[in-house]
Amino acid sequence: MMTSSPITIEALVVLDAIEFRGSYAAAAEQLNKVPSALSYIVQKLEEQLNVTLFERQGRRSVLTPAGKHLLVEGRKVLSAMNTLSEQTQTIANGWETKISIACDSILDITPVFSVVGCFLEEHQNIEIDVQEEVMNGSWEALIEDKVDLVIGAPAPVPIQKGIRAIKIGELQQVLVVNKNHQLAQIKQPVNTLELAKFRSVVVHDSAQHEIPRTVNIIEGSRHFYVTSLNQKIAAITAGVGIGYLPKDLIQSLVENGELVIIALVDELPPQDLFIAWKITNKGKGLLRLRNLLSSHFS
């Protein structure tokens, strides 16, 4: 006879709120409860688990290591629960109540939003949640069911069955530097090996669990890590280092002279960009959205 875990969803929600808001009082307000109700729920959990989760420090309660662990892992469970109920409703109704999209930050998001706008016009009661990811971060989000659709994820498509990807365009990346950078003085085209001398600006992969992949990282050179494409542009513009950027994105900065495009002996081939989804995902909204995207981008 397998005795089920004493942890309830309710309790995890309460734990989450207490940590998030910083006090029982504030958490109670958020949950439309009264502080004593939370006290009751926490105590029940502590008793059934036989573990103290909060240590009272003065008039403030602070999580014990065990409590912290329960919270951190519990939040993952809560998130899984949310996607589970979304998925269940989607299967039952055919249409989803919410569609989550990951957009790779390498992509200009404006035309995507205009298509999404059309979709929302058609389907007033579907919510859309867009998040920005970098490189493997978008694939990871798809694989882990954090999103239903990724837009603009770069090749290679993960070798994993159950993922369908179609190309929606390609992106020409060029090497750019600040106008005063040493590299701007050298006569072009430059050999790729020469680049090893300079510090390069790299966007840190947003993937958390998968082995981060790095493309276009200039081998052997020193790196400067940033966490978004905008930071990368800013860093290069500020002269911190060199790096590859999408040609379209830096057009204006090149025109006003801030950035200089460096010609290479071996020009990078254009990078393929994909939209991708799981074939197990049969949602009608997803299908419709994909069709809209395909017809706007080809």
Partner DNA sequence: TTGGTTTGTTCAAAAAATTTGAACAATAAA
Partner DNA sequence: TTTATTGTTCAAATTTTTTGAACAAACCAA
> In the complex, which residues of this chain contact its own copies (CB under 8 A)?
1, 4-10, 13, 30, 49-52, 64-67, 69-70, 73-74, 76-78, 80-82, 84-85, 87-89, 91-93, 97, 196, 204, 208, 220-222, 224-226
In 94-207, which ranges are continuous DSSP H helix? 109-122, 136-143
CB-wise, 32 or 125, nearer to DNA? 32
CB-wise, 23 or 228, nearer to its own copies? 228
DSSP 281: -
CB-wise, 25 or 80, nearer to DNA? 25
The CB-of-161 to DNA minimum distance in angstroms stands at: 24
* Residue bearing tokens 């035309």: 111
Asked if 225 touches DNA (CB under 7 A), the answer is no
Asked if 25 touches DNA (CB under 7 A), the answer is yes
Asked if 42 touches DNA (CB under 7 A), the answer is yes
Give, in order, the Cα–Cα distances in Å from 102 to each of 105, 235, 242, 283. 9, 24, 27, 17
Asked if 4 touches DNA (CB under 7 A), the answer is no
Give, in order, the Cα–Cα distances in Å from 23 to each of 35, 36, 69, 106. 9, 12, 18, 40
CB-wise, 6 or 158, nearer to its own copies? 6
Q: What is the Cα–Cα distance from 275 to 290, expressed in whole angstroms?
A: 8
Prior bond of 156 cis (ω within 30°): yes
Q: Which residues bind DNA (CB under 7 A)?
A: 18, 23-26, 32-44, 54, 56-61
